[in-house]
Amino acid sequence: MAGLYIHIPFCRKACHYCDFVFTTQTRGVDEFVRAILLEIDQRCKEINDKPIKTVYFGGGTPSLIGTKAVETILRKLSLIADLSHVNEITLEANPEDLNPEKLRQFRELGINRLSLGVQSFSDEVLKSINRAHDCHAAKKAIHDARAVGFDNLNLDLIFGFPGQDTEQLDKDLDAFLSCSPEHISAYSLTIEPKTYFGRSLQRKLMKETPEEVMAGFFLQVRERLLKHGYEHYEISNYALKNKVSIHNSSYWINEAYIGLGPGAHSYDGELIRRWNTSSITGYSQRLVKQVGYFETEQLSPKDKANEFIFTRLRTQKGLPKSDWEKAYHLTESQIETLEQLIKEGWLMEQEGHVRLTEKGMLHADTLSAALFYD
Ligand code: SF4
C-alpha cells in the first residue's frame, strides 16, 4: 500500500514563519494543474505499482485552487489508477477560502478529512504572524464544514509565539477544545532563517521563545489534550479514538509514498528516495519540456536503519525491539546506550517497544541520534 501526496504551492499571504514551498503569485494555477496531470501520466507505472491507500492534498493552500482544479486532479488519478482501496482523502484548507457551497463540493469529490490551518483563535496572534484569516473566519469554517458532513477534522495549532504566556495558550486551547476536532496537530513555532521572522531575529527585532518556556508549552498542550481524551500518537499529533491520520502515520512506519508537485518527496518503501525541484515555475516548465525535474538518492542500509529509529521513536507505539533486532541487529553499544537512557528516565521499554517518556519527548531528536548506527 502507498500514500499519494499532492503539493499545491499557492497561498494568499506569506505567513511570517513559513519556509514551505509556496508562492503568493496565483496566476500560474492553470499551468500548474496541467503540470500535475503530466506528472501523473509520467509516473503512471509507479502510481500503479502498489495499491493507493490515502490521498493527501497539502501545501501551500490546496483550498485556494478551488474545487474544479481538485476535481481535475482526482479525475485524472481515477483514470489511471485503482482508487478503490483509498480510505482517506485529506485536503488542507485555510478558513478564508471556505464557504458552505465550496465545502459541499469538496465533500462530493470524496474529500473525507479536512485539515484546517487555524493556528490560533487569537486575532492578535493571527495578525502578528500574517495569517489571512481571523478568529471569526476560522469558527465559521469549522461550523460550515460540520454542517456539510465533515466528521474528520484536523485543526493545526501553533504555540510559542513571541510574547505568548501560559494564560494565553490556555485560552487558545479552550477555543480549540470547544470546537471538538477529531485531530489536532500541535507545533512549536520554529524560526527558520529564510522567513520574515528569521530575518527579524537576525536584525534583533524580535526574540525567540526560550527553550525551557517552549518545553513548558509543549507539556501544557499535552496535559490539556490528554485530559480531553486525545491520544498523543506522535510528537506533534493528537487524535480522538480511531481518528489518527492514516496518511501521515504511513510516514512514521516507513511505508511507500508518492509525492507529486514542486518540492514533493517520494519513497519506494525500500531504499530509493526522490524529490522534485522546489522551483514552482521550474517544475511546470520542466514537465512541459520533458526535462529532468527531480533527483533521486539511494539510501544506504545504515541510513535506512537510522531512519527507522528516528521515525518510530516519534510515535506513541515506539520502536518495536524485535523488528529492530531482526532487520538491523542492535549493536552492543546501542544496547548499553539504551539501558543508560532508560535508567536516566528518557526512554522506557514496554511490551517489547522502546518509547519516549514524557521528559524524553522534549528531546526526541537528540535521543534518536544517540541510538543511531555510526
Ligand atoms: S498558508 Fe501555510 S503554506 Fe501558505 S504561507 Fe501560510 S503557513 Fe505557509
The CATH number of residue 157's host domain is 3.80.30.20
CB of 9 closer than 6 angstroms to any ligand 1 atom: no
Query: What is the best residue among 10, 15, 19 to mutate for testing ligand 1's pocket, by most ligand atoms within 8 Å of CB?
Result: 15
Say how many Å lie between the CA of residue 10 and the centre of ligand 1.
Answer: 8
pTM above 0.95?
A: yes
Q: Which domain holds residue 343?
A: 303-371
CB of 95 closer than 6 angstroms to any ligand 1 atom: no
Assign 313 to helix, strand or coil.
Answer: helix
Question: Do residue 9 and residue 146 come from a single domain?
Answer: yes
Question: Do residue 141 and residue 215 come from a single domain?
Answer: yes
Q: How high is the pLDDT of residue 162?
A: 87
CB of 117 closer than 6 angstroms to any ligand 1 atom: yes
Q: Is the pLDDT of residue 31 over 90?
A: yes
Which backbone phi and psi does 194 adopt, to 5 degrees? -90, 35
Question: Do residue 153 and residue 90 come from a single domain?
Answer: yes
Torsion of CA 189, 190, 193, 196, to 10 degrees: -10
In a domain, 331, yes or no: yes
Pair 9, 282: CB distance under 8 Å: no
Q: Is the pLDDT of residue 218 over 90?
A: yes
In a domain, 291, yes or no: no
Question: Do residue 112 and residue 212 come from a single domain?
Answer: yes
In a domain, 275, yes or no: no
What is the atom index within ligand 1 of the atom nearest the CA of 18? 8
Percent of all residues in the chain with a pLDDT value above 90, rounded to a whole number: 97
Question: Do residue 212 and residue 312 come from a single domain?
Answer: no
If one counts every other C-beta atom within 10 angstroms of the C-beta of residue 249, the result is 19
Question: Do residue 319 and residue 240 come from a single domain?
Answer: no
Torsion of CA 223, 225, 231, 236, to 10 degrees: -90
How many helices and strands, by DSSP H and E, does the chain display? Answer: 16, 15
SS3 string of 171-211? HHHHHHHHCCCCEEEEEECCCCCCCHHHHHHHCCCCCCCCH
* H/E element, 246: helix 246-252
d(CA 234, CA 361): 10
For the record, the C-alpha cell of 93 comes out as 484548507
In a domain, 132, yes or no: yes
In a domain, 266, yes or no: no
Pair 120, 126: CB distance under 8 Å: yes
CB of 15 closer than 6 angstroms to any ligand 1 atom: yes
Q: How high is the pLDDT of residue 1?
A: 83
Question: Do residue 232 and residue 322 come from a single domain?
Answer: no
Query: What is the best residue among 13, 18, 192 to mutate for testing ligand 1's pocket, by most ligand atoms within 8 Å of CB?
Result: 18
Instruction: Examine the fold and report which residue of 251, 283, 313 is the final residue of a domain before the chain moves on.
Output: 251
Q: How high is the pLDDT of residue 358?
A: 97
Convert the pLDDT of each residue in 186-211 to its tens digit. 999 999 999 999 999 999 999 999 99
State how far the alpha carbon of 261 is from the alpha carbons of 9, 52, 290, in Å.
Answer: 8, 17, 15
Convert the pLDDT of each residue in 240-283 to its tens digit. 999 999 999 999 999 999 999 999 999 999 999 999 999 999 99
Q: How high is the pLDDT of residue 268?
A: 95
Using pLDDT thresholds of 50, 70 and 90, give the confidence band for residue 357: very high
Q: How high is the pLDDT of residue 188?
A: 97
- Angle at 289 (CA atoms; ends 286, 294), nearest 5 degrees: 30
Instruction: Examine the fold and report which residue of 218, 234, 251 is the final residue of a domain before the chain moves on.
Output: 251
In a domain, 272, yes or no: no
Q: Which residue lies with its CA nearest to atom 6 of ligand 1?
A: 15
For the chain, the average pLDDT equals 96
- Total domains in the chain come to 2
Whichever domain contains 367, its CATH number is 1.10.10.10
Question: Do residue 117 and residue 10 come from a single domain?
Answer: yes
Question: Do residue 142 and residue 62 come from a single domain?
Answer: yes
What is the atom index within ligand 1 of the atom nearest the CA of 94? 1
Say how many Å lie between the CA of residue 73 and the centre of ligand 1.
Answer: 21
Convert the pLDDT of each residue in 295-338 to its tens digit. 999 999 999 999 999 999 999 999 999 999 999 999 999 999 99
Using pLDDT thresholds of 50, 70 and 90, give the confidence band for residue 6: very high
Question: Do residue 215 and residue 337 come from a single domain?
Answer: no
Say how many Å lie between the CA of residue 80 and the centre of ligand 1.
Answer: 31
Q: Is the pLDDT of residue 88 over 90?
A: yes
Pair 54, 247: CB distance under 8 Å: yes
Pair 119, 37: CB distance under 8 Å: no
State how far the alpha carbon of 371 is from the alpha carbons of 117, 330, 336, in Å.
Answer: 34, 10, 10
Pair 187, 158: CB distance under 8 Å: yes
Segment 337-345 shows an average pLDDT of: 98
Regarding predicted confidence, which is higher, 163 or 306? 306
Question: Do residue 325 and residue 185 come from a single domain?
Answer: no
In a domain, 258, yes or no: no
In a domain, 196, yes or no: yes
Question: Do residue 314 and residue 204 come from a single domain?
Answer: no
Instruction: Examine the fold and report which residue of 233, 251, 269 is the final residue of a domain before the chain moves on.
Output: 251
CB of 119 closer than 6 angstroms to any ligand 1 atom: no
